[in-house]
């Protein structure tokens, strides 16, 4: 088998056979395939696409390219959630303890933020002392003891994805449905969970800008998961406005804690409940959505979910007192309010601009080696639908001595729309793909 022939086959629009995909991925990992042949193949895949079967084979070969975790020693079902990336999305921080409290094990491997979207690991690391880069054995022990843990993927897992992704980034071959699917699902399959819920974001603040594109990605992800024997469902959710009221690492941790106390903003609660219900159902803990919702509600109302978060934080080396006293989380030195310049209703708060504003304040990174300021971010005081008068504070910017404030302010000014009439609320959950 010669790589150039596989490139030509793909270039001519044919699907590669299973053994061809395996040969290719093995050569990616063992280094015998040069970067330029991978790059040409990636562009041919952008051009011709991959059918679901080929995508499933690629996913499987990538998942097998490194270490895979095994949870068969656990006395209960395993389930995870993955989001395609949103602004203000702190659902993982609440979901892992909620679903653990419902009786499943949630061994969550998460990522870091890049560009305008945040990453769960960065949020979690806002908690003093907390470590997310743990040895696999420690991860396994915490999941077994607490029911949940949120860590980063080790270098030994899915090496094929690391090499492919690094090349996709510099060869303009990121936006391929098949390659995105294989990248996401290979990592999740290597995690070894038996069930997976995907939160596919749709809208201007998301990677997928239209509901159709998001729906196609959701379908492809579910199909690839099923092909690998993982019970998989996807929720397509709207990403036009930040989720909840907080954007920024420590602010989002605090908001997740508030949610686990049974409070918190409606949209965040809606999304967490929808995802928790799907996770609980897929884990086999409830026979109906109603039953699942009762389990989820009880996990929060009983304080058991909050307790799981507390134990998870402690087990990962963090200061568990933040759960009772979010004031222990890092905070910014200064605040500046964006105020309404007219009277009316807030009809839009653009997620992407808010994400970029938080990035300018220091909450995110444009390169993977940028440092993050855990304390800075945005606090939405007047969410979409709120009636405001001229001079009312709409967004509070938490900044560090003015760093990035001018750029952030300009962005949130553009992000917020105040109109004379309120617009009807959009549904947050667009569809369920199962």
Distance in Å, CB of 49 to a second copy, minimum:
12
Do residues 357 and 408 make contact, with C-beta atoms less than 8 angstroms apart? yes
Name the one range near a second copy by CB under 8 A: 35-43, 253-261, 379-387, 408-416.
35-43
Q: Which two tokens stand for residue 302?
A: 């009983």
Catalytic residue status for 161: yes
Comparison of 43 and 190: residue with beta carbon closer to a second copy:
43
209 belongs to the binding site for a second copy (CB under 8 A): no
Catalytic residue status for 336: no
190 belongs to the binding site for a second copy (CB under 8 A): no
Distance in Å, CB of 32 to a second copy, minimum:
13
173 belongs to the binding site for a second copy (CB under 8 A): yes
17 belongs to the binding site for a second copy (CB under 8 A): no
Catalytic residue status for 82: yes
Catalytic residue status for 168: yes
Q: Which of 16, 21, 29, 37 binds a second copy (CB under 8 A)?
A: 37
Do residues 91 and 99 make contact, with C-beta atoms less than 8 angstroms apart? no
Residue of 116, 168, 310, 365 with catalytic role: 168
Distance in Å, CB of 277 to a second copy, minimum:
39
Comparison of 4 and 387: residue with beta carbon closer to a second copy:
4
H/E segment holding residue 126:
none
Closest to 123 in 3D by CA, of 243, 251, 242: 251
Near a second copy in 38-67, by CB under 8 A: 38-40, 42-44, 46-47
Burial (CB count within 10 angstroms: exposed 0-12, middle 13-18, buried 19+), residue 19 = exposed
Kindly give the interhelix angle for 91-101 and 266-282, rounded to the nearest 10 degrees. Answer: 40
Distance in Å, CB of 54 to a second copy, minimum:
17
Q: Which residues pair with residue 108 across a beta bridge? A: 150
Catalytic residue status for 399: no
Report the alpha-carbon distance of residue 52 to residue 218 in Å, rounded: 12
Comparison of 34 and 425: residue with beta carbon closer to a second copy:
34
Do residues 243 and 85 make contact, with C-beta atoms less than 8 angstroms apart? no
Distance in Å, CB of 339 to a second copy, minimum:
37
| Angle at CA of residue 339, ends 338 and 340, nearest 5° | 130
- Count of chain residues binding a second copy (CB under 8 A): 24
Show the DSSP H helices in 228-339 as ranges.
249-260, 266-282, 289-301, 304-315
Closest to 39 in 3D by CA, of 50, 28, 55: 28
| Interface ranges with a second copy (CB under 8 A) | 3-5, 7-8, 11, 34-40, 42-44, 46-47, 167, 169-173
Active site residues: 82, 161, 168, 183, 187
């Amino acid at each position: 088998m010669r790589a150039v022939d596989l490139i030509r086959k793909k270039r001519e629009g044919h699907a590669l056979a299973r053994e061809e995909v395996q040969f290719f991925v093995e050569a990616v990992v063992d280094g015998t395939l040069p970067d330029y042949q991978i790059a040409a193949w990636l562009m041919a895949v952008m051009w011709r696409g991959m059918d679901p079967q080929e995508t499933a084979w690629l996913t499987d070969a990538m998942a097998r390219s490194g270490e895979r975790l095994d949870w068969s020693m656990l006395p209960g079902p395993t389930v995870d959630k993955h989001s395609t990336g949103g602004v203000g999305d702190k659902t993982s921080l609440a979901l892992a303890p909620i679903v653990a409290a419902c009786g499943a094990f949630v061994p969550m491997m998460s990522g870091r933020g890049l560009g305008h979207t945040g990453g769960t690991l960065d949020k979690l690391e806002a908690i003093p002392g907390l470590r997310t880069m743990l040895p696999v054995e420690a991860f396994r022990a915490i999941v077994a003891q607490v029911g949940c843990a949120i860590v980063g993927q080790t270098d030994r897992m899915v090496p094929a994805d690391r090499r492919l992704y690094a090349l996709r980034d510099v060869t303009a071959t990121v936006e391929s449905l098949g390659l995105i699917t294989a990248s996401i699902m290979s990592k999740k399959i290597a995690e070894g969970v038996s069930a997976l819920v995907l939160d596919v974001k749709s809208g201007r603040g998301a990677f997928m800008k239209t509901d159709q594109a998001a729906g196609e990605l959701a379908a492809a992800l579910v199909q690839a998961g099923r092909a690998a024997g993982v019970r998989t469902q996807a929720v397509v959710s709207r990403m036009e406005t930040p989720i909840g009221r907080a954007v920024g690492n420590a602010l989002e941790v605090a908001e997740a804690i508030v949610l686990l106390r049974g409070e918190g903003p409606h949209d965040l609660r809606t999304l967490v409940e929808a995802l928790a219900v799907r996770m609980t159902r897929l884990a086999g803990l409830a026979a109906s959505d109603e039953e699942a919702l009762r389990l989820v509600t009880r996990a929060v109302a009983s304080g058991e979910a909050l307790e799981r978060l507390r134990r998870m934080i402690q087990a990962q080396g963090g200061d568990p007192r933040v759960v009772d006293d979010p004031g222990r989380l890092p905070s910014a030195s200064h605040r500046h309010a964006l105020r309404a310049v007219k009277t009316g209703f807030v009809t839009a708060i653009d997620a992407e601009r808010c994400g970029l504003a938080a990035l300018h304040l220091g909450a995110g990174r444009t390169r993977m080696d940028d440092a993050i300021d855990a304390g800075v971010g945005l606090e939405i005081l007047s969410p979409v639908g709120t009636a405001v008068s001229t001079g009312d504070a709409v967004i509070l910017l938490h900044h560090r001595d003015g760093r990035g404030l001018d750029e952030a302010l300009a962005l949130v000014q553009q992000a917020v729309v105040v109109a004379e009439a309120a617009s009807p609320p959009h549904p947050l959950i667009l569809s369920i793909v199962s």
